[in-house]
């Protein structure tokens, strides 16, 4: 790849985007990186932090095509990180793809979902639409079909630790998750160079686990007893609604667990480890680290 290549990352104020930036800084000069932000003026602190590292910052709001038109000129490779706004992704992603095509971007890498073409998860629908939009646009592209981030499960753990039970509807379905930083390094690797156009990477952790096995790790790390309570998807959904969770969150959790039972988040192909050149982060490492950090926070609060 020429020294003058410009690598654009969308959504850089998000957790995945910030990890991609960190990984890229180990691979290419900061001057080759362009950080896309919804509104740099509004998030001035984050924008200035990038600039201090020598990274260019440009406005790129998925929902405002006028910002996208000026975002991609001169860009060689673009990482389109999927939007977090469920229900709006189809239009938002097509806005980005259209602007990138008009600007002559040489390659678009898209963070899709594991086995998007066959996944039973309702979240996969918008990813399939984006994959179709990329094919229709005629722009060289590569699909990074990411499995679950292990960190997805950490936000469910404080309540589970409090009550000594983790509810779910995944039965004995296995989850091949990896740390968010692993997926970010894969994206950075693809963006930094190599012939990836036309490839589909099914990215997942080296090892898999059931929710019962996850609970066993939590119990060992916390030193407190914990059980996994398996429920039907309908009962799990009702329990979540009774707990006051938003409808969309309830739908995602119940649908995902039902999909896990069907194998939607299992993959043992090893593509992620090959792409990043090392084993993926064991789920035990992420979960144990989270539990210990929670205990440290609790101890600090107790001494305050």
The confidence score (pLDDT) of residue 275 equals 97
Q: Which of 16, 10, 89 is nearest to 57 (CA)?
A: 10
- Is the separation of the CB atoms in 8 and 77 below 8 Å? yes
Kind of pairing between the strands at 7-9 and 77-80 = parallel
Mean pLDDT of 237-263: 94
**Mean pLDDT over the full length of the chain:** 94
pLDDT single digits (tens) 210-246:
999 999 999 999 999 999 999 999 999 999 999 899 9
Write out the DSSP string of 100-123.
HHHHT-SEEEEEEETTTTT---TT
- Is the separation of the CB atoms in 69 and 99 below 8 Å? yes
The confidence score (pLDDT) of residue 299 equals 55
Mean pLDDT of 187-198: 95
**Residue linked to tokens 């999927």:** 82
Q: How far is it, in rounded angstroms, from Cα 150 to Cα 79? A: 22
Please give the model's pTM, rounded to 2 decimal places.
0.94
Model confidence at 2, pLDDT cuts 50, 70, 90, reads very low
Q: How far is it, in rounded angstroms, from Cα 144 to Cα 302? A: 44
What distances in angstroms separate CA 184 from CA 41, 62, 144, 156, 263, one per listed residue?
Answer: 26, 20, 10, 23, 24
pLDDT single digits (tens) 48-61:
999 999 999 999 99
Domains of the chain listed by start with CATH number: 7-149+178-203 (3.40.50.720)
Q: How far is it, in rounded angstroms, from Cα 250 to Cα 244? A: 9
Residue 159 has pLDDT above 90, yes or no: no
Q: Which of 80, 87, 15, 81 is nearest to 252 (CA)?
A: 87
**Residue linked to tokens 């060992």:** 220
Kind of pairing between the strands at 141-146 and 200-203 = parallel
pLDDT single digits (tens) 79-133:
999 999 988 999 999 999 999 999 999 999 999 999 999 999 999 999 999 999 9
């Amino acid at each position: 790849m020429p020294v003058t290549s410009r690598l654009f990352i969308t959504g850089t104020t998000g957790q995945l985007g910030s990890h991609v930036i960190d990984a890229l800084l180990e691979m290419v000069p900061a001057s080759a990186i362009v950080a896309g932000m919804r509104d740099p003026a509004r998030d001035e602190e984050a924008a200035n932090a990038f600039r201090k590292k020598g990274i260019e910052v440009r406005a790129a709001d998925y929902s405002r095509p006028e910002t996208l038109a000026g975002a991609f000129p001169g860009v060689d490779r673009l990482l389109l990180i999927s939007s977090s706004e469920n229900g709006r992704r189809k239009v938002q992603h097509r806005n980005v793809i259209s602007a990138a095509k008009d600007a002559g971007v040489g390659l678009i890498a898209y963070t899709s979902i594991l086995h998007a073409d066959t996944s039973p998860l309702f979240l996969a629908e918008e990813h399939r639409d984006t994959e179709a939009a990329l094919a229709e646009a005629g722009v060289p592209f590569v699909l990074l079909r990411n499995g679950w981030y292990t960190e997805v499960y950490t936000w469910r753990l404080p309540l589970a630790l409090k009550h000594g039970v983790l509810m779910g509807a995944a039965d004995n379905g296995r989850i091949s998750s990896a740390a968010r930083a692993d997926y970010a390094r894969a994206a950075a690797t693809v963006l930094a160079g190599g012939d990836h156009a036309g490839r589909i990477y099914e990215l997942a952790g080296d090892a898999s686990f059931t929710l019962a096995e996850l609970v066993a790790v939590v119990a060992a790390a916390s030193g407190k007893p914990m059980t996994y309570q398996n429920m039907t998807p309908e009962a799990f959904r009702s329990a979540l609604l009774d707990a006051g969770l938003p409808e969309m969150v309830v739908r995602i959790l119940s649908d995902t667990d039902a999909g896990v039972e069907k194998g939607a988040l299992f993959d043992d192909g090893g593509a992620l480890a090959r792409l990043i050149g090392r084993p993926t982060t064991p789920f035990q490492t992420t979960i144990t680290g989270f539990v210990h950090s929670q205990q440290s926070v609790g101890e600090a609060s107790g001494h305050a």
